[in-house]
Amino acid sequence: MSLKRALPPLTALIAFEAAARLSSFSRAAVELGVTQAAVSRQIKALEDDLGLPLFRRLHRRVELTEAGATLASRLARAFNDVAAAIADLRRSAGAELVVAATLAFSQFRLLPRLSAFRLAHPDLRLRLVAQDEPVDLARDGVDVTIRYGMGAWGDGEAHFLHDDRVVLVASPAFLARHGPVDTLEAVIAAPLIGYDVPDPTWMRWGDWLAACGRPGPAPVPALRCNHYTDAISAALAGEGITLGWRWLVDRSLALGTLVQVTTAQVVPDGGYYAVTPANRAPKSGALALARWLASEAPNAAS
């Protein structure tokens, strides 16, 4: 049997609960914003539906019958449970979503496009934690972190976003000064920009050249940065050639502030994942962010 058939009208139950709690039809009417006569009608209809009295009508007051006291106790618990569940959902919906990402992903991929996500989710408050040190999802209070790798992490559930490819990038001004750099030998002879890798899955110069068919000792960069963001900033400033992860530098390539030096490209193992904690259900906002990032991906690594 459906709840609609099994239960009396909800308005009658609400009127009864208020009158039972306040021991007064008139005070219940004030709380509910209706007339005392309306409360009386609702409770009389409930009593008719049940076939027994719920209140004893005394001079200027009412008191619950035994049946009324039983129903009032059960309704109070049920309504409190429902109110608590609604409060939890409202807190969850309006809660702050803590998002962790590397400095590079935050600066190059997330922040330039974040306004589109916030426009689609205006009630969601975000806190962005940008750091290259690994985040412990079980301990650090993060709701979703963006990682690059093979998709297997013990502290979370991985939601695949996209793979990537690595190309060589430099500024137009650098290429204008140094002329065309169209062979691997010319690349190795040019000023190169390296970076420290926050994760072993990240590709370095030696890895990239070996994947392009030139194994051997890795070239020594003319400039090495401890953050990938600084390596890209140096390339933008015309300091040399660096490895460009297409999903991160696509905006600079589209604007023409960076250009692809050669047609060579390498597709590394792994991919980008949005990872939610394994020890608790993911927040709806975390899954919405993962879906949005995945939807942004098809044009990113073309």
Q: Are residues 149 and 283 in the same domain?
A: yes
- Could you give the CA distance from residue 146 to residue 271 in angstroms, rounded to a whole number? 10
More reliable by pLDDT, 280 or 231: 231
Residue 302: inside a domain, yes or no? no
DSSP per residue, 115-177: HHHHHH-TT-EEEEEE-SSPP-TTTS--SEEEEEESS--TTEEEEEEE---EEEEE-HHHHHH
Residue 299 confidence (pLDDT) above 60: no
Q: Are residues 83 and 100 in the same domain?
A: no
Mean pLDDT (the chain) is 89
Q: Are residues 208 and 262 in the same domain?
A: yes
pLDDT at 289 (0 to 100)? 92
Residue 15: inside a domain, yes or no? yes
By residue range, what is the domain housing residue 120?
96-157+270-296
CB atoms within 10 A of CB 174: 22
Residue 276: inside a domain, yes or no? yes
Q: Name residue, tokens 């209706």.
A: 34
CATH of the domain at 17: 1.10.10.10
pLDDT at 298 (0 to 100)? 46
Q: Are residues 64 and 146 in the same domain?
A: no
In tens, the pLDDT along 70-110 reads: 999 999 999 988 887 776 666 555 568 999 999 999 999 99
pLDDT at 237 (0 to 100)? 97
- Cβ neighbours of residue 93 under 8 Å, at least 6 residues apart? 123, 284
Residue 182: inside a domain, yes or no? yes
More reliable by pLDDT, 215 or 150: 150
What is the pTM (predicted TM-score) of this model?
0.67
Q: Are residues 138 and 285 in the same domain?
A: yes
pLDDT at 301 (0 to 100)? 40
pLDDT at 90 (0 to 100)? 61
What percent helix, strand, coil does the chain show, rounded to 5?
A: 45, 20, 30
Q: Which of 47, 67, 94 is the last residue before a domain boundary?
A: 94
pLDDT at 92 (0 to 100)? 58
Q: Are residues 125 and 195 in the same domain?
A: no
Q: Are residues 281 and 262 in the same domain?
A: no
pLDDT at 81 (0 to 100)? 86
In tens, the pLDDT along 135-189 reads: 888 888 899 999 999 999 988 999 999 999 999 999 999 999 988 888 889 999 9
Q: Are residues 52 and 185 in the same domain?
A: no
- Could you give the CA distance from residue 109 to residue 245 in angstroms, rounded to a whole number? 11
Residue 192: inside a domain, yes or no? yes
- Could you give the CA distance from residue 96 to residue 110 in angstroms, rounded to a whole number? 17
Residue 190: inside a domain, yes or no? yes
Distance between the two ends of the chain, CA-based, in angstroms?
Answer: 56
- Could you give the CA distance from residue 137 to residue 1 in angstroms, rounded to a whole number? 44
Q: Are residues 8 and 88 in the same domain?
A: yes
Residue 197: inside a domain, yes or no? yes
pLDDT at 54 (0 to 100)? 95
CATH of the domain at 127: 3.40.190.10
pLDDT band at 7 (very low <50, low <70, confident <90, very high): confident
More reliable by pLDDT, 189 or 215: 189
Number of domains the chain is built from: 3
Q: Are residues 285 and 200 in the same domain?
A: no
pLDDT at 267 (0 to 100)? 93
Q: Are residues 175 and 142 in the same domain?
A: no
Q: Are residues 170 and 260 in the same domain?
A: yes
pLDDT at 302 (0 to 100)? 40
